[in-house]
A and B are shown apart, each in its own frame.
Chain A
Amino acid sequence: MNNYTESEVSASPRQIVIGSLAALGVAAVLLVTAVLPAEFNIDPLGTGKLLGITGMSEAQQVGALNLQPNAYHQDSYQIVLAPYESVEYKYRLEEGATLLFDWRASGDLVFDMHSEQDGVDPYEYSPSFDQGSDGGVRGSFTAPFSGVHGWFWENRSSRDVTLELTTAGFYSAATEYGQNYQNEKAFSEAK
Chain B
Amino acid sequence: MFAITENKIREKQLGDDRAGAVVIFEGLVRNHNDGKKVTCLEYQAYIEMAEKVGQEILNETFNKFDIIDAACIHRVGMLQIGDAAVWIKVLSAHRDEAYQASKYIIDEVKSRVPIWKKEHYVDQEPEWVACHRCASHEEHHHSHEAVT
On whether the two chains bind one another, the answer is: no
Give chain A's interface residues, CB within 8 Å of chain B.
none
Give chain B's interface residues, CB within 8 Å of chain A.
none
